[in-house]
Amino acid sequence: MIKENYRFTTLPNGIRIITENLPHVSSFSLGFWFNTGSKNENQNSNGISHFTEHMLFKGTAKRSTKKISDDVEKLGGYLNAFTSKEHTCYYGRGVGEHLPKVFDVLSDMIQNPLFKKSDIKKESGVIIDEYYDIEDSPEELIFDRFETNVFDSHPLHYPIIGTEKNIKLFQQKDFIDYLHKHYTTNNLVVSATGNVNHEKIVELVEKKIIGLKKGRVRSEKSVEIKKPKSLFIQKDIQQTHVIIGKKTFGFKNKDRLKVNLLSNIIGEGSSSRLFNLLREKNGLTYQINTFLNSFKNYSSFGVYFSTGGDDKRAVDLVYKEFDKILKKGITKREFNRAKEYMKGNLIMHLENTTNRMIRMSQSMFYFDKIRKIKDSVNNINAISYDEIVEISKNLLELDSFSKVVISAKEN
């Protein structure tokens, strides 16, 4: 296993800096993470987190849109960003010696965006296209609609892309106000892995990030989530797409890892139960898998499949398999296979510097500490067979699931 060498510093203004030096690599991954996403929106502002992410690439007082990318790419580097329901991340990759330049570009973007009215109008059209790309991609759309349904009444139900109406209505003042409220020093984690030096990154943060204010610490309201109803969406498509799922434990709950292991047994990989039952034995679907999409306090768990055949029979087979696990349990062989599968995936996933950077940052946001890889492996090893049998009774209770279907056929 790769040696772990983490360093952590909190500055007086609240900025947290995490680094992991990997002496065997020549490159780095650098991320600027803000603890804000679609969960921090409301009905009228839904979509502004994602739109803001786009706008930060549209130029600063020092750099045009082209110069932002050119300043990094001419050094063989790479810039990107993403918005989730809980976070927004701007990140860059490059060769170790170019880290100060990539840092300069990213710090300029987050502190000095222009938000030109003409750029807002143009980018609105780009995001509307992205919105319709999702609408035209049932394998993407169904996950958006499922989480809107399963987290009904909770801020997690807002889709990251937002609504077409909001995307068209956002004005310059909306972005400026959003930035001042959420892009604050106490809401920022700077994370870097690879060929990096902790002291030099702390020095860069102190020197370069001087335009952000220290915001107020936000408390998270507890919101009761209603029991979701099933949802049918009619689209002119060839396949029927189905999710059967529910909400479950989030990152803060120790039982989440047990759910993850059970999810692997049920539908992760070509040796899982549902893959063999629906694809290999019955030929009902090409793609079927379970998923566990996790947030701080909740996760969405479910089974996704698409089929051109008998979707009702496929759904019945999924429920019958859940019932079979509830009544007969799982085998020790399945249990051990799932453990090895999870550990192997974790270690292979973290042979990439960007994935390690992402893991460190999420660990800080969710647990207020860096969770070591060896501890994660030990936590998987510590799960007992009896615990998985017990968690299945909570997870697979048949009347706790809702169903989302996208199909050309009438429901």
* Per-residue pLDDT tens over the stretch 261-272: 999 999 998 999
Mean pLDDT of the residues in the chain = 95
Q: How far apart are the first and last CA of the chain?
A: 50
Whether residue 273 contacts residue 204, with contact meaning beta carbons closer than 8 Å, is answered with no
CATH number at residue 327: 3.30.830.10
Does residue 137 share a domain with residue 279?
A: no
Q: Is the pLDDT of residue 222 over 70?
A: no
| 263 vs 249: CA distance, rounded Å | 13
Q: What is the mean pLDDT of residues 39-45?
A: 96
Does residue 400 share a domain with residue 254?
A: yes
Q: What is the pTM of this model?
A: 0.95
Does residue 137 share a domain with residue 245?
A: no
| 150 vs 386: CA distance, rounded Å | 28
Task: Determine the 3-state secondary structure of 370 from DSSP.
Answer: coil
Other Cβ atoms less than 10 A from the Cβ of 234: the count is: 12
Does residue 285 share a domain with residue 380?
A: yes
Does residue 240 share a domain with residue 197?
A: no
Look at residue 224 and tell me if it is in a domain: no
Other Cβ atoms less than 10 A from the Cβ of 57: the count is: 19
Q: What is the mean pLDDT of residues 254-282?
A: 96
Q: What is the mean pLDDT of residues 133-145?
A: 97
Look at residue 219 and tell me if it is in a domain: no
Q: So what's the pLDDT on residue 216?
A: 76
Look at residue 217 and tell me if it is in a domain: no
Does residue 399 share a domain with residue 290?
A: yes
Does residue 119 share a domain with residue 68?
A: yes
Whether residue 291 contacts residue 304, with contact meaning beta carbons closer than 8 Å, is answered with yes
Can you point out the beta strands (E) in 22-154? Answer: 27-34, 78-83, 88-95
Look at residue 184 and tell me if it is in a domain: yes
Structure tokens at 134: 């999702």
Vertex 383: Cα angle to 377 and 387 (nearest 5): 160
Look at residue 225 and tell me if it is in a domain: no
Give me the residues paired with residue 281 across strands. Answer: none
Look at residue 14 and tell me if it is in a domain: yes
Give the chain's domain count: 2
> Which has more pLDDT, 216 or 297?
297
Single-letter residue type at 380:
I
Q: What is the mean pLDDT of residues 41-62?
A: 97
Give me the residues paired with residue 89 across strands. Answer: 33, 82
Does residue 249 share a domain with residue 183?
A: no
Range of the domain at 284: 231-407
Look at residue 287 and tell me if it is in a domain: yes
| 353 vs 28: CA distance, rounded Å | 7
Q: Is the pLDDT of residue 317 over 80?
A: yes
Does residue 292 share a domain with residue 202?
A: no
Q: Is the pLDDT of residue 212 over 60?
A: yes
Nearest to 31 by CA among 85, 112, 109: 109
Structure tokens at 167: 């995307």
| 154 vs 156: CA distance, rounded Å | 5
Does residue 143 share a domain with residue 264?
A: no
Q: What is the mean pLDDT of residues 178-206?
A: 97
Q: Is the pLDDT of residue 302 over 90?
A: yes
Angle formed by the axes of helices 48-55 and 117-135, nearest 10°:
120
Does residue 257 share a domain with residue 188?
A: no
Q: What is the mean pLDDT of residues 347-372?
A: 94
Model confidence at 243, in pLDDT bands (50, 70, 90)? very high
Task: Determine the 3-state secondary structure of 231 from DSSP.
Answer: strand
Q: Is the pLDDT of residue 2 over 70?
A: no
Whether residue 135 contacts residue 128, with contact meaning beta carbons closer than 8 Å, is answered with no
Look at residue 216 and tell me if it is in a domain: no
pLDDT tens string 9-33: 999 999 999 999 999 999 999 999 9
Q: Is the pLDDT of residue 44 over 60?
A: yes
Q: Is the pLDDT of residue 218 over 90?
A: no
> What is the widest separation between alpha-carbon atoms in the chain?
65
Q: So what's the pLDDT on residue 1?
A: 52
* Dihedral angle over CA of 146, 251, 305, 225, nearest 10: -30
> Given 176, 208, 240, which residue is the final one in a domain?
208
| 343 vs 31: CA distance, rounded Å | 25
Q: Is the pLDDT of residue 315 over 80?
A: yes
294 half-sphere exposure, CB direction, 13 A CA radius = 18
Q: So what's the pLDDT on residue 99?
A: 98
Q: What is the mean pLDDT of residues 60-88?
A: 97
Q: So what's the pLDDT on residue 215?
A: 80
Does residue 263 share a domain with residue 192?
A: no
